[in-house]
A and B are shown apart, each in its own frame.
Chain A
Amino acid sequence: EAGVVQSPRYKIIEKKQPVAFWCNPISGHNTLYWYLQNLGQGPELLIRYENEEAVDDSQLPKDRFSAERLKGVDSTLKIQPAELGDSAVYLCASSSARRSGELFFGEGSRLTVL
């Protein structure tokens, strides 16, 4: 079974440019998460989806960040415009309803903003 797939693995952009990250969760997992991980720190939740509904987006900076999960499967996280402080690893994870605490993470998308 394929794991959580994220792309791109690496992205380098100049500040004020837009960027988008894509995530394909494990088949059948209804819960999808986007986390941000700064160097030397644990992941921090940005948004959580139950199917196509965003049920927890309190930590998502809505002035520049947006996310969507159309049809309750794939998800996209967008930043527009990017700032220097957005440089981090963006992790996507998914979990099933049966074992909601066991999150399966993708390898992450490392963003560098110059």
Chain B
Amino acid sequence: GESVGLHLPTLSVQEGDNSIINCAYSNSASDYFIWYKQESGKGPQFIIDIRSNMDKRQGQRVTVLLNKTVKHLSLQIAATQPGDSAVYFCAENRGNAGNMLTFGGGTRLMVKP
């Protein structure tokens, strides 16, 4: 499949380890944040979201942490699997009305067997 990005920050982890992908956002007014996963040759896929009134949200094997003080978002993946290999994007909603998602630059996660 085609490569999504050639010069992305890359995180390499061993299969079974936990992964932490970080994201900094810029707009203090952003009230909603989403993590997307993009596999090679495919469109981004929704993973998990969090609203600004929360600090933490858990899904299946994934946890998102939000630190509004330093405008930082992280995605934790437990027991990382080869199928988790992809590019991960954080997105923030800056809109006061409607949906205005702005995507970050992405991090490539590589899982070593």
| Chain A residues proximal to chain B, CB less than 8 Å | 4, 31, 37, 39-45, 48, 50, 55-56, 91, 93, 95, 100-108, 110
Contact = CB atoms under 8 A, between A and B. Distances in A.
Main secondary structure of the interface of B (DSSP, over half): loop
Interface size class of B (residues with CB under 8 A): 20 to 34
Interface stretch (B11-19, B64-72, B76-84, B103-111): B103-111
30 contacts: A4-B43, A40-B5, A40-B106, A41-B5, A41-B105, A41-B106, A42-B103, A42-B104, A43-B44, A43-B103, A45-B100, A45-B101, A48-B98, A50-B98, A55-B98, A56-B100, A91-B44, A93-B43, A95-B99, A100-B98, A100-B99, A101-B99, A102-B34, A102-B46, A103-B99, A103-B101, A105-B44, A107-B42, A107-B43, A108-B42
B43 A105 contact: yes
